Structure formats: C-alpha cells, structure tokens
C-alpha cells in the first residue's frame, strides 16, 4: 500500500484552504455553477460582496475524495473561512439569512428582503434563499 506516501492532491487542497481566508469548493465556477447547491452558496458570498477563492471540484474526482477526507464532510459545496469548515449549502443559507455569514466574513449583513432599497442602480437580488421546500 502506498497510503503513507505523499498525496499531492490532498496537500494542494490543504494548502489552498490554508492560504485563502475564504474558499469555496463547488461544482463548476461562481460564474457557471454546475449544481443548484453550489450556485446558491456562491451566490450568497457574491451577494455579500465577500471576496472568496473558488475551486471547481469537477475536473478530477480525486479532488472531492480528498477534500471530504480532510473535512469529514460528504457533500459539495464546502465553505471554509480561516481554515475552518463553515458548512455546506444548507448551513451557509441559514447563516446568510440570519446575518451570521456576514459576521463570519466581516462584511455588511444582507439587505432585509422586506426593505426595498431605493435607487435604480440597485441590482436585483442574485439569489433566493429557498432551501427549505415543503
């Protein structure tokens, strides 16, 4: 077995987590997400105008395998802040809605959906938090 030998993919993932204060592992890219869960999670970060690094896990199945081994988290997306796993799509959506995400990222909380912002240059909300169906 070569389990104890160097694992370049795992090392690269760990290094990326260590080097980027906010990093999202997702399917596809923020501009072209390949999964609704990844799209919502990237959208929440974009909505808060929080700078983040994004890694597309799709090009190589080993990325997801090694990422989940590091994080002990089975699904994609996965958001890390300051080297710690924050959560997946559900947790990020809950934290976005409650303002905790903005707090964790050190940015302004989202506009309350009930307050229609004035001004014609306001972009439409880029995502809807509709994670709970039924």
Partner 1 sequence: MPTTHELKSRIEAAIPGAEAEVVDLNGGGDHFQATVVADAFAGKSRLEQHRLIYDVFGDEVGGPIHALSITTRTST
| Residues of the shown chain interacting with partner 1 in the complex, contacts defined by CB under 8 A | 37, 64, 68, 72-75, 85-91, 94, 131-134
Residue 132 CB, nearest approach to partner 1 (Å): 6
Query: Please, which residue, 7 or 131, has the CB nearer to partner 1?
Result: 131
Residue 91 CB, nearest approach to partner 1 (Å): 5
SS3 content of the chain, % helix, strand, coil (to 5): 40, 15, 50
Residue 37 CB, nearest approach to partner 1 (Å): 7
State how beta strands 84-87 and 22-26 pair.
unpaired
| Sheet hosting strand 22-26, strand order edge to edge | 53-56, 22-26, 78-81, 84-87
Query: Please, which residue, 28 or 51, has the CB nearer to partner 1?
Result: 28
């Amino acid at each position: 077995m070569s389990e104890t030998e160097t694992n370049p993919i795992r090392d690269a993932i760990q290094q990326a987590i260590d080097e980027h204060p906010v990093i999202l592992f997702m399917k596809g890219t923020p501009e072209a997400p390949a999964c609704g869960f990844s799209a919502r999670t990237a959208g929440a970060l974009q909505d808060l105008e929080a700078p983040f690094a994004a890694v597309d896990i799709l090009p190589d199945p080993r990325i997801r395998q090694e990422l989940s081994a590091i994080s002990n988290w089975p699904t994609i997306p996965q958001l890390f802040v300051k080297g710690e796993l924050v959560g997946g799509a559900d947790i990020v959506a809950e934290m976005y809605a409650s303002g905790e995400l903005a707090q964790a990222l050190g940015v302004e909380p989202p506009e309350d959906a009930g307050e229609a912002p004035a001004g014609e240059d306001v972009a439409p909300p880029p995502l809807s938090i509709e994670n709970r169906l039924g």
